[in-house]
Every structure is written in C-alpha cells, then in structure tokens.
Amino acid sequence: MLSLDLHPIFRNNRDIELALRQFIFKAHQSGEPVAEVIPGKGTGQLRERVLAFLAQKHIRRLYDRVEVSGGNTGRVLVHFARR
C-alpha cells in the first residue's frame, strides 16, 4: 500500500497541495487498490484540508471512494477502482 505522511510538511500549504497532487496521480497510475494519506490526529484541520483537496472535481475522477479510518481518524484511505 502506498502511503503519504503529511507530518513533516503540515505548516506549508503549497507543499501539502503539491505532495497530495503528486501522490494521488502516482497512486492512480500504480494500480494499487488503496493508498493511505496520514494527516495525523491533532485538531483535524489537516484531515479536513486533505478531504477538501480530494473532493475537487478533477481529483475526484481519479479514485473510487475515500474512507476515514474508523478506529484511527488520523488516517485517510483512498480507494481506486480496479482497472
């Protein structure tokens, strides 16, 4: 499973956007069924930014569904449709 940890760059909006964009395109092209984004627990603001990024129309077309892990809210799973 591909994984992206946002802890090291959580303060820089541009770096977060770039890292998410590169990661989602890489995950989509790799054929992996699930990719993991780790925004961390904290206040939930970073998780909300990740979910807002994933909700953009042009990004939404790349994946099948998003799941916020029930037991671990500091983890967002992005499911890709099988090709």
The domain of 14 spans 2-74
Distance CA 35, CA 54 (A): 12
The answer as to whether 8 is a domain residue is: yes
The answer as to whether 29 is a domain residue is: yes
The answer as to whether 15 is a domain residue is: yes
For residue 83, give the 3-state DSSP assignment.
Answer: coil
- Report the number of distinct structural domains present in the chain: 1
Smallest Cα–Cα separation from 6: which of 32, 24, 33, 30? 24
pLDDT of residue 79: 97
pLDDT in tens, the chain (83 residues): 899 999 888 788 899 999 999 999 999 999 899 999 999 888 889 999 999 999 999 999 999 999 997 788 899 999 998 76
- Using the 8-state DSSP alphabet, how is residue 40 labeled? -
Whether the pTM exceeds 0.85: the reply is: yes
The answer as to whether 18 is a domain residue is: yes
The answer as to whether 44 is a domain residue is: yes
The answer as to whether 81 is a domain residue is: no
